Amino acid sequence: MQPKPQIVNLPVYQPGKPIEEVKKELGLQDVIKLASNENPFGSSPKVLDAIQKELANISLYPDGSAAELTQALAAHFGLNKDQFIFGCGSDEVICLIARAFLLPGDENIMADQTFSVYKSNADIEGAVSIEVPLVNGVHDLDAMLAAITDRTKVIWVCNPNNPTGTLVSSEELNAFLAKVPDRILVVLDEAYAEYVTDGTYPDSLSLLKQYKNVVVLRTFSKIYGLASLRIGYGMGDAAVIKLINQVREPFNTSRIAQAAALAALGDQTFVEDCRRSNSEGIAYLNQEFDRLGLEYFPAHGNFIMVDVRSSAKEMFQSMLKLGIIIRSGFEKYPNHIRVTVGSSEQNQKFIAALEQVLKQQQAAV
């Protein structure tokens, strides 16, 4: 069998280490996972009720168009129903965009340390990825503009950026979009948008009326707490969404996922509570990092990227032995770890373990 040449050396995505595996591997009873930016508060109680009711229909195919969920989101955001596409997480929508628009030799532009799925899907399509260095962890939009060529098809902007957690402001984004040729698709990945409290954050949905070449990605995996059900969506101009839908598989989101998402969307009180708790968690972690003398990027999602002043991979192993799963392995930031903002108890346990490891490292010098 001969695979596509471009996938031979493609790295396999490495998710956060599972809690069950760590418990078995290290013989631990209490393990906290702060590696995958999951919601530590779970999901709305309304979600569990919706799932329970939907189990009666488990033998039936899902609605491929997700009509009921589409209608609810259209009302929620003030958009038309033909402006939505759904995927098995927003990851799949990224895959569909690459499949719909990128040909071998086409170029796409992204930050040099951002969500890895942009590049991997471009690689699969044989496209060329232009990776523009972040500046202080933030997208360099001017440099991304300068990287545009006649071959550029797609530009990816992760906002807040994963893994740095930094923000592109409304003013910066508007100035950027005004200069991007309308033949180029600009994908605004806003997986963590619901966590943002900064007043300079763009109102991206209003941009859809002005720019036909913009697609906004959102997900139910993060603040809504439906990560295991895998449902995300994209919003854009109806003509663009139609093209993406043409390469979508017929039943790519399940009945249970759609029912859960509909219930989750209907409980905005839960969302507000999670946003408030997350902001309190960020403030606590910032305070503790300051006390420990550690530098970190401004956090606008539900995670923080912090410089631990030594090998992040070694820190990962040391924290793992203490029952704390974090994220490391960022090529451009080898001394940085990314940690999810957990519950108050989880955050305190993380800081206690981090301080213990830092003191051990200092004593060993």
CA–CA separation, 188 vs 70, rounded Å?
20
The boundaries of every CATH 3.40.640.10 domain in the chain are 45-267
Contact 108, 154 (CB under 8 A): yes
- Structure confidence at residue 14 (pLDDT): 61
What pLDDT does residue 25 have?
A: 77
Beta bridge partners of 128: 107
Token pair 């972690």 in the structure block, residue: 285
**Which tokens belong to 42?**
């779970």
Give the DSSP H/E element, type plus range, for residue 51.
helix 45-54
Q: How far is residue 127 from each of residues 22, 85, 124, 130, 197, measured CA to CA in Å?
A: 37, 23, 8, 10, 36
pLDDT at 154: 98
What is the C-alpha R_g of the chain? 21
**In this predicted structure, what is the pLDDT of residue 362?**
87
Q: Where in the chain is the domain with CATH 3.90.1150.10?
A: 5-42+269-364
**Taking a C-beta distance cutoff of 8 angstroms, is the pair 151, 128 a contact?**
yes
The list of the chain residues with pLDDT below 50 reads none
The answer to whether 160 touches 335, Cβ cutoff 8 Å, is no
Which pLDDT score is estimated for 11?
67
Find out whether 90 and 117 touch, Cβ atoms under 8 Å: no
Class for the domain spanning 45-267? alpha beta
Distance of CA 16 to the CA centre of its chain: 13
pLDDT value of residue 8: 64
Does residue 160 have a cis bond before it (omega within 30 degrees)? Answer: yes
Residues in the chain: 365
Residue 2: per-residue pLDDT? 62
Instruction: Provide the pLDDT for residue 10.
Output: 64
| ∠ Cα 9 13 16 (to 5°) | 150
Count CB atoms within 10 A of the CB of residue 319. Answer: 24
Summarised one tens digit per residue, pLDDT across range 206-218 is 999 999 999 999 9
Cβ atoms of residues 112 and 133 within 8 Å: yes
Name the residue with tokens 């906290």.
32
Which pTM value belongs to this model? 0.94
Assigned token pair, 270: 């839960």
CATH 3.90.1150.10 is held by the domain 5-42+269-364: yes
Q: What's the pLDDT at 287?
A: 98
SS3 324: strand
pLDDT one-digit tens code per residue, 317-345 = 999 999 999 999 999 999 999 999 999 99
